[in-house]
Amino acid sequence: MSSLPSNVHVAQHPCLRAKVSQLRSQETGARDAKRLIHDISTMLGYEALGSALKSTQQGTV
């Protein structure tokens, strides 16, 4: 993995790894592949947003 560029992040999340493994399986049909791609893209999306967004507290309660 040291040959990857510095701006590449390799996800190690167990759920994501399991879904990618299922996607790569020869037994995975078209319907399951479509669902897995949707699940994987959703997970990658919230991981990307979570690392990019910063929360700040405004005002007082």
pLDDT at 60 over 80: no
Residue 22 is assigned to a structural domain of this protein: yes
In a domain, 1, yes or no: no
DSSP state of 10: -
Tens-place pLDDT, residues 14-42: 999 999 999 999 999 999 999 999 999 99
- In the prediction, which pLDDT does 57 show? 80
| Total of domains in the chain | 1
Quote the CA–CA distance of 59 and 46 in Å, as a whole number: 27
Give me the domain span that covers residue 32: 14-48
Q: Return the residue matching tokens 């167990």.
A: 14
The CA angle 17-19-22, to the nearest 5 degrees, is: 110
Q: Could you tell me if residue 2 is inside a domain? A: no
Q: In angstroms, rounded to a whole number, what is the distance separating the alpha carbons of residues 30 and 53? A: 34
Distance separating alpha carbons of residues 21 and 23, to the nearest angstrom: 5
In a domain? residue 59? no
